């Protein structure tokens, strides 16, 4: 069974966990930092809400039913969809989308290989 890590995300006053393959968890944290660095440069009317990656851990045992564990692929697919829907003209959004899609492709390949 593959080893998973959990990226703890904080949005407003809530937390959720993104389950990632151990080999890709750091990439999600790094992507999140990069997106936060660049998101303020976007000039579009509708800019996606972006949680902060606040921690990574190896195991999660939830005791609060209001908390969620989200599959890394589901999270990155939603992130890609959110950013693909931004109508941006002043900032090269394609660079951010390229980074999101690169991790998306890696996760798709990982899940395909692991679920065989």
Per the structure, the count of domains in the chain is 1
Q: Is the pTM of this model over 0.95?
A: no
List, for residues 19-32, the tens digit of each pLDDT value. Answer: 999 999 999 999 99
Predicted pLDDT at 90: 78
Would strands 14-21 and 69-71 be described as parallel, antiparallel, or unpaired?
A: parallel
Predicted pLDDT at 116: 60
Has residue 114 got a pLDDT over 90? no
- The torsion angles phi and psi of 48, rounded to 5 degrees, stand at -60, 145
Q: Which of 107, 109, 17 is nearest to 54 (CA)?
A: 17
Q: Which domain holds residue 106?
A: 4-114
Would strands 69-71 and 4-11 be described as parallel, antiparallel, or unpaired?
A: unpaired
Has residue 92 got a pLDDT over 90? no
Q: What 3 state SS string does 43-94 have?
A: CCCCCCCCCEEEEEECCCCCCCCCCCEEEHHHHHHHHHHHHHCCCCCCCCHH
């Amino acid at each position: 069974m593959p080893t998973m890590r959990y990226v703890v995300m904080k949005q407003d006053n809530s937390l959720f966990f993104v389950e990632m393959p151990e080999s890709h968890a750091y990439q999600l944290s790094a992507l999140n930092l990069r997106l936060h660095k660049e998101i303020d440069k976007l000039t579009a009317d509708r800019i996606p809400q972006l949680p902060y990656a606040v921690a990574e851990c190896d195991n999660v045992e939830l005791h609060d039913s209001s908390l969620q564990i989200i599959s890394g692929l589901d999270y990155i697919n939603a992130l890609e969809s959110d950013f693909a829907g931004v109508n941006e003209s002043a900032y090269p959004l394609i660079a951010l989308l390229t980074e999101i899609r690169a991790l998306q492709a890696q996760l798709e390949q990982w899940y395909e290989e692991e679920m065989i």
